Chains A and B, each alone.
Chain A
Amino acid sequence: MLSIVSSAALSLLCRFKSGGIIVNEHTLTLDQTRSHVDILHRHFDFISLAELPNRMGLRHKKPFCLLTFDDGKRSNATVTAPELCRLGVPAVFFVVSGFLDGKRPLWFDRYRLLQEKLGKTLPYGLSSRIVKQLPYDLLLDRIDRACERHGVQVDATDEDICAMTWDHARELHKRGFIIGAHGVTHAVMTRETAANAFDNISRSIAEVSAEIGEPCNSFAFPNGNYTAQLASHAVRCGVRFVMSTEPTWVDQRFPLWRLPRLQLFGPQSRQRIERKISAAALGCILANPDGTGRTYRLVNRLDKLTKQRATQSSSPQPNVATALSRRDD
């Protein structure tokens, strides 16, 4: 019953709502890839990144869906991308440039293993509300110490944990997928000093461009936390599309430097995905996974207000002659 309701609600929304969604995935198995594509395809048109600016402002029969994958895990290249290729679904892969080709797992994979091993008794200073507040060096130091103390080791052969290689990334690019930048490290940019964050962003964009052999045109903030200043910096570094993790639909109201993305996970059921997409359409229900809750509502409200004020102040005042001619009419 719930399944029918959520499906019907989403169908109704898709009929009346303009714009579409940008989906943020991480790793998917073959079955999960098929299932997600199937669910999304019922309601959305899959589009490529290049089509995004045009589709944001136009109403189509179906709203659009742009698939994005974060981090650059090996399974993205060996499992998901070939299946997407077979299904003819375009996607963007945002890679952590310092992670590719490397053997060191990303911090949150080790953190997840710590969570699995220790349950709720995580070491002091590593609780879930704290970890994403820490600058990267401090965070790594704490996780290193905790992993060592509790004998947590990551399976380096797990394709959902280890990185793809730059050869994989180039191969994806050749197949028509877009390779975007996702930082040199997976540091939460707003927790770093401004200088570190700027350097991290510009280096990652430069590294992706150099390795792919083509200017990198998209950047996704690790963990989603952003500021306008950081996004502007990414744009100055040459990217056109900057993505966050605000869990809402995308339409022409959003600038290309602040594109919201809806996070989905592999094991999520069809009902859950449809419910989540429906809730995202309202633009105020879901919490942002970047840890800032529903602050994005205030950001969007203030943005709307600022734009309205700017329009009001820039709209030309009717001059006396026009006013008089109107009166004559």
Chain B
Amino acid sequence: MSSLVDLNKTEGQPGCLKVAALVSGRLGAQELWAIKNISAVRCRLYVIRATQATAVSKYIRAHRLIKEYGLLRTASRWLGGLIGSRVAAKNRKMLDELFDVGALEDWWNHSDIRPHNVPTLNHPDSRSLLEELAPDIIIRVSGGILKPHIFSLAKIAALNIHHGQAPLIRGMWSIPWGIIEGRPDWIGATVHMIDEGIDTGTILWRGAPQLSPGDAYADLLFRTHLEAVSALVQILKIYALDETPRPWTCLPQEISAYRSAPGLWEWIKFLRLDQGRRAQVLIRKGIKC
């Protein structure tokens, strides 16, 4: 365990949490921001990084998608992804600058944290590593859906930041879905426990940034992530005091929706709305309704 780092040199002190942060692929600005803030909590932090997003081959994935969504919808998703990749790259660049990824990388390089690389987050290697570390809290910082044999290894809780207001909106790309479908109540973030469903676990915090005319997706994601990470840190502090955070009470009339990856039509609509700048859902925030 030579590469495990006790960030705050608090090992053995009462209330010192063992936290495993799970990431997948490149450590981008969002991930580094989360890790840096988590590390500020009195805890032993382990970073487990998956070198690849999934072990499933492209062919099998395509086969599964066609089976689940049909050929047309799968083709639409593929085309959408093709268009979206350029936009996503631009947004990633914008987010890097908003989070000041240079300073974050500098912090990361000087922090002595060395990630444990595993093939994928659900890989048996990941499981055995987690068994060895026996973390109190597992936090899914990025990557795909965690399987029960991974998230159940947390002694206290496995947590996730979902960039959307669960249970109102679950799944991926929730903020753009909120923009496209004119649902301001979807835009925001949720810190929840991980269970077998997708974004269905007990909610510990839910919030949203201010929505204002002229905002675009990257701005909203940035502000949402800031608020969500700060809420996650508060939750970790509660756990560090050996207390349990109170679950968030959702209104009984809330209807849950699930959205997956966007198709071609959704991408076109999203781009026509100038990624939110021309969306009524945001423009409306400038007038009294």
* A interface residues (Cβ-Cβ under 8 A, vs B): 124-125, 127, 130, 133-135, 138, 142, 145, 189-194, 197, 225-230, 232, 255, 257-258, 288, 290-293, 295-296, 298-299, 302-303, 306
* B interface residues (Cβ-Cβ under 8 A, vs A): 97-103, 209-215, 219, 222-223, 226-227, 277-278, 280, 283-289
- Interchain CB contact under 8 A, A125 and B102: yes
Bound state CA distance, A145 and B102, in angstroms? Answer: 13
Bound state CA distance, A288 and B97, in angstroms? Answer: 23
- Interchain CB contact under 8 A, B223 and A135: yes
Contact residue among B98, B210, B287, B289 (Cβ-Cβ distance under 8 Å from A190)? B210
Q: Which of B213, B278, B288 has the most CB of A within 10 A?
A: B213
Contacts of B222 in A (CB 8 A): 133
Contact residue among B212, B277, B278 (Cβ-Cβ distance under 8 Å from A226)? B212
- Interchain CB contact under 8 A, A291 and B214: yes
- Interchain CB contact under 8 A, A292 and B214: yes
Decide yes or no: A306 and B100 within 8 Å by CB, A190-B210, A291-B214 being known contacts: no
Contacts of B103 in A (CB 8 A): 124-125, 145
Min distance, Cβ A183 to any Cβ of chain B, angstroms: 15
Contacts of A190 in B (CB 8 A): 210, 212, 215
- Interchain CB contact under 8 A, B287 and A193: no
Contacts of A229 in B (CB 8 A): 210, 285
- Interchain CB contact under 8 A, B288 and A299: no
Interchain residue pairs with CB less than 8 A apart (9): A124-B103, A125-B101, A194-B210, A227-B210, A228-B285, A292-B213, A292-B214, A295-B214, A302-B287
Contact residue among A124, A232, A299, A302 (Cβ-Cβ distance under 8 Å from B100)? A124
Contacts of A225 in B (CB 8 A): 212, 214
Min distance, Cβ B107 to any Cβ of chain A, angstroms: 12
- Interchain CB contact under 8 A, A255 and B288: yes
Min distance, Cβ B270 to any Cβ of chain A, angstroms: 17
- Interchain CB contact under 8 A, A296 and B289: no
- Interchain CB contact under 8 A, A134 and B286: no
- Interchain CB contact under 8 A, B280 and A302: yes
Contacts of A226 in B (CB 8 A): 212, 286
Closest to B287 in A: A303
Contacts of A291 in B (CB 8 A): 214
Contacts of A288 in B (CB 8 A): 214
Which 9 A-B pairs rank lowest in CB-CB distance, beginning with the nearest? A292-B214, A125-B100, A190-B212, A299-B286, A295-B214, A303-B287, A124-B102, A227-B285, A227-B212
Bound state CA distance, A232 and B222, in angstroms? Answer: 25
Bound state CA distance, A193 and B103, in angstroms? Answer: 23
Min distance, Cβ A25 to any Cβ of chain B, angstroms: 23
- Interchain CB contact under 8 A, A133 and B98: yes
- Interchain CB contact under 8 A, B223 and A298: no
- Interchain CB contact under 8 A, B289 and A228: yes
Contacts of A306 in B (CB 8 A): 287, 289
Bound state CA distance, A120 and B222, in angstroms? Answer: 25
- Interchain CB contact under 8 A, A130 and B287: no
- Interchain CB contact under 8 A, B97 and A227: no
Contacts of B213 in A (CB 8 A): 227, 292, 295-296, 298-299
Contacts of B209 in A (CB 8 A): 193
Bound state CA distance, A316 and B181, in angstroms? Answer: 33
Closest to B283 in A: A298
Q: Apart from A193-B210, A290-B214, what 4 extra A-B contacts exist at CB < 8 Å? A: A189-B210, A227-B211, A296-B286, A303-B286
- Interchain CB contact under 8 A, A130 and B97: yes
Bound state CA distance, A86 and B126, in angstroms? Answer: 77
Bound state CA distance, A298 and B276, in angstroms? Answer: 12
- Interchain CB contact under 8 A, A130 and B98: yes
Contacts of B99 in A (CB 8 A): 125
Min distance, Cβ B156 to any Cβ of chain A, angstroms: 27
Bound state CA distance, A269 and B233, in angstroms? Answer: 52
Min distance, Cβ B48 to any Cβ of chain A, angstroms: 28
Bound state CA distance, A302 and B279, in angstroms? Answer: 11
Min distance, Cβ A139 to any Cβ of chain B, angstroms: 11
Closest to A304 in B: B287
Bound state CA distance, A258 and B222, in angstroms? Answer: 27
Bound state CA distance, A38 and B58, in angstroms? Answer: 71
Contacts of B285 in A (CB 8 A): 227-229
Bound state CA distance, A127 and B222, in angstroms? Answer: 16
Contacts of A127 in B (CB 8 A): 97
Min distance, Cβ B218 to any Cβ of chain A, angstroms: 9
Contacts of A189 in B (CB 8 A): 210
Min distance, Cβ B182 to any Cβ of chain A, angstroms: 12
- Interchain CB contact under 8 A, B97 and A298: no
Min distance, Cβ B130 to any Cβ of chain A, angstroms: 33
Bound state CA distance, A229 and B211, in angstroms? Answer: 10
Closest to B282 in A: A295
